[in-house]
Structure 1
Amino acid sequence: MPFSVAFRALLRMAPSAALVLALACSALAALPGVALAAGAAAHTPGVRPAVPVPRGSSGGIPGFHAAPAVPSYASGTTAGGPVRTQPARMPFYVATRGNLTLYLLGTLHVGDPADYPPGQPFRPQILAALAASPILALELSPDDLLVSQDDVSKYGVCRRPCLPGLLPDPLWQKLAARMRGNPEALAEIRKMRPWLASLLVETYDSLSAGLQTEYGTEAQLQNVFLRWKDRRIVGLETLAEQMRTFTNLSLAQQREMLAQDLAQTPAQNVADVQTLLHLWRVGDADAIAAWDSARTEKLSHDARVAASVDNRIVYERNRRFVSRMQQYVAPNKPLFVAVGALHLGGPRGVLELLRQRGFTVEPG
Structure 2
Amino acid sequence: MRSLGKTRWSRPVGRAVSVGLCGAALAVAALATPGPAEAAPERPSQRGGGWDLKDSGTDARFRGLAAVSRNTAWVAGAQGTVLRTSDGGRHWRNVSPPGAGALEFRDVEAFDGRRAVVLAIGEGEASRVFRTADGGATWTESFRNTDPRAFYDCMTFFDRRHGLAMSDPVDGRYRILSTADGGRSWKVLPSDGMPAAQQGEAGFAASGQCLVSSGSRDVWLATGGAARARVLHSADRGRTWTATDAPIPAGDPARGVFGLAFRDRTHGIAVGGDYRADQPSPKAAATTGDGGRTWAAAAEPPPAYRSGVAWLPGSRRGALAVGPTGTDVTTDGGRSWRTVDTGSYDTVDCTRDRACWASGEKGRIARWERD
- Does TM-score exceed 0.5, indicating one fold? no
Using CA pairs below 8 Å that are at least 6 residues apart, which structure has the higher relative contact order? 1
Greater percentage in helix: 1
